[in-house]
Amino acid sequence: MAGTESVRGGQTLEWPLQFGLFLAPLHHPQQNPTRALRRDLELIVRAEELGFTEAWIGEHYSTGHEIIAGGDLFVAAAAERTKRIRLGTGATSLPFHHPFVVASRAVQLDHMTMGRYVLGVGPGSLPTDSTMMGLDHLQQRQMMAESFEAIHALLTSDEPVSRTTSWFTLKEAELQLKPFSYPLFEMAVAAVESPAGPTLAGRYGASLLSLAAAAGPGFIAMPKMWGVLEDTANEFGRTVDRRSWRVTGLMHVASSYQQAVADVRHGLPQYMDYIGRVTSKVVGDAAATEKPDPMTADIEDLVEGFNASNAGCVGGPDEAVAFIQRLVDNSDGGIGTFLLMMNDWADPEATFRSLEIISREVFPAFQGSSRSLIAAQERAAGLRPAAAQVSRMAVQRATEGYGSGRG
């Protein structure tokens, strides 16, 4: 399929939009963490069966909700349970690791997944993580840039690599194992609103992973992101492609809006409490702390306000299509993959059903997969009168032939 038609009168993509999962993850701390991690793996397996093409895993160390510390460990476990889905770290927090170790482990995963691994990197998003490590959160983007340059050199240079910075040293360093992918596996840089991410991605021809782009500062910055990346890529002689741009969004989809509201009674209040009271993140067009207490608010009012803020989508297939189309329109040229940021808003069974509904009813709106089927149906409907007449004539002839043969 060469492209997709606009589904809401908005921007038309020239290619089929791909769909994937993003697992920070977001688990409320009252549940069994062991079971939550196992369920994350089950989600990836199920997503592959439903046609999702990617799954990205976060790296966090505090707050009690985002409980995966080793995104690459999780990728390795998921790789053994799947066959086709691509698996990325979203993102490896470079200031937390020596670049030689990051490069070496990435190459190993490239081999273990036989080319399905994507090295996603970032500066580290939670100040509570860096504080416990004694890092200056204000310096982490610079540290990310220094580390990424060294990693890229280790992966692409034919000569030993030596670097000295304020926080790491490389002395005649060479990777003993070369990548499985030729010439190199894909790398991506995470970004929200700062130009640091797209600038770094453009400089090295990496992909862009846009987080929290649905509303607030991320939505405002989104139209400029690809321009920054593309301009930087041109400056450094790199080739980039919009189809490698991933954008995340929060959604829960049910058969109807009313059912979706009933589903998220299970966990949306806890999520809103986490965002507003525990983290420094912004939900929608205002800080969550400026909104009513989600733990005591009426669930219908909570969902209505959440949807109105554009921070995410709780609804049926139509609402989901409109939510994604809004992101496509805001991209000023198109994106390649929509990543569904997984959550515990609904219970596990309803969450699995949400993936099923998205695959069945939302995918076709952006992939054009049902267009030829609908055309075939209408073509057959138009031919029906003539076809019915021919069919009746054939039956009549066969009947007459049978009777004459018996006589």
Please report the pLDDT score of residue 340 as a whole number: 98
Q: What is the mean pLDDT of residues 25-51?
A: 97
**Cα–Cα distance measured from residue 382 to residue 231, given in angstroms and rounded to the nearest whole number:** 51
Question: Which of 103-107, 118-122, 222-226, 389-393 shows the lowest per-residue confidence on average (mean pLDDT)?
Answer: 389-393
CA–CA distance, 21 with 23 (Å, rounded to integer): 6
H or E element that contains 403: helix 371-406
pTM of the prediction? Answer: 0.92
What pLDDT is recorded for position 287?
Answer: 45
CATH topology of domain 18-369: TIM Barrel (3.20.20)
- pLDDT given at position 6: 46
More confident residue, 79 or 395: 79
Residue type, 8: R
CA atoms within 13 A on the CB side of 104: 9
pLDDT for res 11? 80
| pLDDT band of 163, cuts 50, 70, 90 | very high
pLDDT number for residue 280: 65
What is the pLDDT confidence band of residue 2, given thresholds at 50, 70 and 90? very low
Q: Domain residue spans in the chain?
A: 18-369, 372-407
pLDDT at residue 52 above 70?
yes
pLDDT of residue 140: 97
231-272: pLDDT as tens digits: 999 999 999 999 999 999 999 999 999 999 999 999 999 999
Least confident of 3-17, 19-33, 214-228, 368-382: 3-17
The predicted structure's pLDDT at residue 76: 98
pLDDT tens digits along 54-76: 999 999 999 999 999 999 999 99
Residues 345, 208, 217, 19, CA torsion sign:
negative
Q: What is the mean pLDDT of residues 362-380?
A: 92
Question: Phi and psi of 166, rounded to 5°?
Answer: -70, -10
To which residue do tokens 């399905």 refer? 116
**Among 106-115, 124-133, 199-208, 381-390, where is mean pLDDT lowest?**
381-390
Terminal Cα distance for the chain, rounded: 56
Q: What integer best gives the mean pLDDT of the chain? A: 93
For residue 149, the SS3 value is helix
Q: Is the pLDDT of residue 282 over 70?
A: no
CA distances from 378 to 362, 383, 384, 389, 399 (A): 22, 9, 10, 18, 31
Average pLDDT rounded to a whole number, residues 211-225: 93
